[in-house]
Structures are given as structure tokens and as C-alpha cells.
């Protein structure tokens, strides 16, 4: 009876070891490494999207809380405008060209160097 038990235990350990070795071999193959890299990239992409969504929700909440313009950057008001009025229209004639004075979505002026354009 003891020999049968040890025979079954040895056979079970051998099957387990062989399956484990096959899994390690498959994981370290080119396809296995590619799958792991794709999984890592997908995880990073999902994390990035969740962070962006959280940022957008937080920004919307702050804009509502402080009464700011929902989209775009608030502009300075003139001295003659009533206090608390914020203009959302551009004072530039052509803000789509990125000329001096206009801003992009990050608030930078987008000034371009005019050197070497002759």
C-alpha cells in the first residue's frame, strides 16, 4: 500500500513539474513575451485613460465651483466692463493661425520664430 501511495505521489509531482515547465517555456517564447508586452501596454493605456478621465472630472468640478468658463481660457476684461464679467471671445481677428497673441488649449502663445522664413 505504501508503494502505491509513493508511486501516485511521484507521478503527480512529475505531471505538475512538466506542466509548470511547459508554462515557463511558453511564457519565455517570442509569442509569450509579445503577449506580455501587449498586456503591459494595454494596462498602461487603460491607466492613462482613467487618469485623464479623473482630471477632466476634477477640472469640470472646479470650474463649476469657481464659476469659470466651461471650455477655453478666460480672458482679461477691460476696465469699462462690469466686475466679474469674463469674455470668452477672442480679441484677435484670426486666432486659428497661431499668430502672436493667441493661445492654444494649454495657454501657450504659440509664438513661432520668424528666422529663416525669408
pLDDT value at position 94? 47
* Percent over 70 (pLDDT), the chain: 58
Higher-confidence position of 76 and 69:
69
The predicted model gives 83-107 an average pLDDT of 52
> For residue range 18-72, what is the model confidence (pLDDT) as tens digits?
999 999 999 999 999 999 999 999 999 999 999 999 999 999 999 888 888 766 6
The predicted model gives 83-96 an average pLDDT of 52
Report the predicted TM-score, pTM, of the whole model to 2 decimal places: 0.45
Three-state secondary structure of the chain:
CHHHHHHHHHHHHHHHHHHHHHHHHHHCCHHHHHHHHHHHHHHHHHHHHHHHHHHHHHHHHHHHHHCCCCCCCCCCCCCCCCCCCCCCCCCCCCHHHCCCCCCCCCCCCCCCCCCCCC
Pick from 97, 100, 107, 99: which is nearest to 75 by CA?
107
Amino acid at each position: 500500500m505504501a508503494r502505491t501511495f509513493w508511486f501516485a505521489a511521484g507521478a503527480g509531482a512529475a505531471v505538475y513539474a512538466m506542466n509548470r515547465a511547459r508554462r515557463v517555456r511558453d511564457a519565455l517564447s517570442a509569442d509569450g513575451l509579445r503577449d506580455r508586452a501587449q498586456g503591459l501596454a494595454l494596462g498602461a493605456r487603460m491607466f492613462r485613460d482613467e487618469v485623464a478621465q479623473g482630471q477632466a472630472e476634477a477640472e469640470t468640478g472646479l470650474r463649476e465651483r469657481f464659476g469659470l468658463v466651461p471650455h477655453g481660457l478666460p480672458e482679461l476684461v477691460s476696465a469699462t466692463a462690469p466686475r466679474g464679467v469674463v469674455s470668452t471671445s477672442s480679441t484677435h481677428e484670426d486666432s486659428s493661425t497661431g499668430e502672436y497673441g493667441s493661445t492654444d488649449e494649454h495657454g501657450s502663445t504659440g509664438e513661432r520664430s520668424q528666422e529663416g522664413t525669408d
